[in-house]
Amino acid sequence: MNWLALRSTLATGNQAALDELAASLTEAAAAPPKLPDTAEGHRLAAALHAYATSTGRPAAAQPAEAGRPAASDNTQAEPELEVEAEVELQPGDERDEPEDAPFPALKLLKDAVGRSKMHPIKVIRSEERESGPWPLISEHMDGEPRWVHPDVTSTRVPYDRPNGKRVRRDRLDVPDMFGDGVLCLIDRNGSYPSACSAVPLAPNKLLHTGPLEAFDRGGAGIYLIDIPQWTRTDMPHPLGRIIDRPDDEGRVWVTTPHIKQLARLVRDGHLPAMPAIYDSWTGNANESLFKPFYEAARTARADLIQVGGEPYKSYKTRLSIALRLLWPKRQEQKSPFWRPDWRMSMVAEASVRHWTVAFKAVQEGHRLIALRNVDAAVFWTPPGTAPDTYRIGTGFGEVKAKFIQPGQMIPEGDD
């Protein structure tokens, strides 16, 4: 594989040259080679994954940390089925919504940042993105759990959507020793916009603050730490999939939400001590940068969920687009933002909240059998009985609960 050709082609957006590389790109995307654990290696791995996704070909490994083996789970792959992927940003998404839009999400997000007295830097200049903290930030810093109880078997099974698209869904097989029960599916409402209510961010540039004796609550950014030992088998590791991509010393980079989560677990006696901070890039912390956006999203949801139909669908779509525009991945994707640290801190905050509420349920005796991404959990419960640690409802901070019989496929979330 000619990596220089690939890098040049992606940088220039030359479609003809990309077509010429199609055969070798397809082969490399199907079986990615070990790439150097450097910023350049990370970018090439991400480029391979993006190519595989854009062409509908399955990528055989997660590329966010090049040179590391892909995380394994106890699912059975079925490569002939199409795997769902997050909808890509489209040209024009960076423009403000029309005046009559049900929810002008991007305009509201820009207004929220613009009103801050800390004079936030919305865009890191292109010439600065290849150095400093920016190459260290990856999608794996979201900390999504993606966990199944070790005594439960998870299998990927085919499912044909009403529109004819074939996808894959999970089926969870629970052992007899769990006793009688059903699968209780918990679907959290608006995990990402909810996280915007108080996500700790550094509005200005991240400065190299190096090793720290202790976490400073007045700062926010990214931190290089050891992976804390987690011995419980009834809950996933609090850092989620972050632990799947350690460096050669067994350390990982995390954002402020996960550092604060570890501090709470130490305070409550669930971890013996805070991990050492070997390196850091931080700035003055602010937890209210996105709060006006959160408040507008919460109010709009309360109104539009009653209306339903296209207005509510448009609300969800534009909200998702606005938050993805915090970190556009491709050079051709225009955006009023380029702050990977903001994006990953927001997603990490959603993951931390998701994990924390599930942990509270487990502590009160409920049996968790799967914790999936940032909004879905599966418990083993009596029929019709959701864990009482969750609030059932349609608002932010509330959840929907569904019940399915053992052996049935896990349905797709509808929010």
Is residue 175 a part of any domain in this protein? yes
Give tens-digit pLDDT for 189-227: 999 999 999 999 999 999 999 999 999 999 999 999 999
Q: Which of 407 and 212 is assigned the larger pLDDT?
A: 212
Statement: residue 12 has pLDDT above 90: no
Q: Answer yes or no: is pLDDT of 71 > 70.
A: no
From 407, 371, 392, select the one nearest 182 (Cα to Cα).
407
pLDDT (tens digit per residue) in 338-395: 999 999 999 999 999 999 999 999 999 999 999 988 889 999 999 999 999 999 998 8
Instruction: Say how many domains are in the chain.
Output: 2
Question: Is 281 part of any domain?
Answer: no
Q: What is the rounded CA–CA span in Å between residue 192 and residue 351? A: 9
Put residue 249 in one of left, alpha, beta given phi > 0 → left and psi -120 to 50 → alpha.
alpha
Question: What's the angle, vertex CA 211, arms to CA 207 and CA 214, rounded to 5?
Answer: 105
Residue with tokens 């996500």: 199
With respect to residue 9, please indicate whether it lies within any of the assigned structural domains.
yes
Arithmetic mean of pLDDT, 86-114: 82
In this prediction, residue 57 carries a pLDDT of 40
Domain contains 59: no
In terms of pTM, does the model score above 0.85?
no
Instruction: Inform me whether the pLDDT recorded for 314 exceeds 60.
Output: yes
Q: pLDDT grade, residue 23 (50/70/90)?
A: low
- 258 neighbors 143 (Cβ within 8 angstroms): yes
Average pLDDT over residues 111-138: 94
Domain that holds residue 11: 3-54
pLDDT (tens digit per residue) in 76-85:
333 233 333 3
Q: ∠ at Cα 231 (227, 233), nearest 5°? A: 120
Euclidean distance between CA atoms 51 and 28, whole angstroms: 10
Task: Quote the pLDDT of residue 28.
Answer: 56
Residue 147: is it exposed, middle or buried by C-beta count within 10 angstroms (0-12/13-18/19+)?
A: buried
Among the three residues 12, 29, 54, which one is the final residue of a domain in this structure? 54
pLDDT of residue 305: 87
Per-residue model confidence (pLDDT) at position 161:
82
Q: Residue 86 carries which side chain, given as an amino acid letter?
A: E
Q: Which of 39, 54, 69 is the last residue of a domain?
A: 54
Q: Residue 344 in contact with residue 137, Cβ under 8 Å?
A: yes
- Output the CA torsion 20→22→23→25 (10° steps): 120
Any domain includes 209: no
Task: Answer yes or no: is 28 within a domain.
Answer: yes
Among the three residues 14, 36, 54, which one is the final residue of a domain in this structure?
54
Q: How far, CA to CA in Å, does 292 sit from each of 112, 222, 313, 349?
A: 5, 24, 22, 17
pLDDT of residue 8: 47
Residue 181 has a CB neighbour count (10 Å cut-off) of: 18
What is the C-alpha to C-alpha distance for residues 244 and 246, in angstroms, rounded to an integer?
6
- Residue keyed to tokens 């599966």: 378
